[in-house]
Amino acid sequence: MKIYIFTFIVALLIISCENSNEPGLEIVSSGIVKKLEVSTWQYGTHTLNDEEGKILYALKSSTKDLNAYNDLKVTLLGSRVDGYPVDGGPLYLDVIAVKELDN
């Protein structure tokens, strides 16, 4: 039953928020979490990448340990951080929730 509720909430958020570029709004996206090593933009602790390795978002979280999801395929919910992107970097998300996906 929990999976149905989670799926419903994720679907609802995808429909309402996925393409939003406004700061503070929530975004749902799926991809592979990678620890940020070196970047030109200097923000975030991790990135969310697509299957080909393209960076979709820079990530941070004060509620979730993103290291626990390193190199895993996930769906996450995050809110856009105001004032980003800068220095040619990606959109910046503050991650609120993370769900590991089956490979």
Q: What pLDDT does residue 103 have? A: 66
Question: What residue spans define the domains of the chain?
Answer: 2-100
Q: What pLDDT does residue 39 have? A: 85
**Amino acid identity of 100?**
E
Q: What pLDDT does residue 10 have? A: 63
Which residues does 103 contact at the CB level (< 8 Å), separation at least 6? 73
> How far, in Å, CA of 74 to CA of 76, rounded?
6
Q: What pLDDT does residue 76 have? A: 95
pLDDT in tens, the chain (103 residues): 666 666 656 665 555 544 445 556 789 999 999 999 888 888 999 999 999 999 999 999 999 999 999 999 999 999 999 999 998 899 999 999 999 998 6
CATH topology of domain 2-100: OB fold (Dihydrolipoamide Acetyltransferase, E2P) (2.40.50)
Q: What pLDDT does residue 23 have? A: 56
Residue of 90, 93, 77, 73 lying closest to 32 (CA atoms): 73
Residue 100 and residue 30 in contact, taking contact as beta carbons nearer than 8 Å: no
Q: Where are the beta strands (DSSP E) in the chain?
A: 26-35, 46-49, 55-60, 73-80, 91-100
Q: What pLDDT does residue 87 have? A: 86
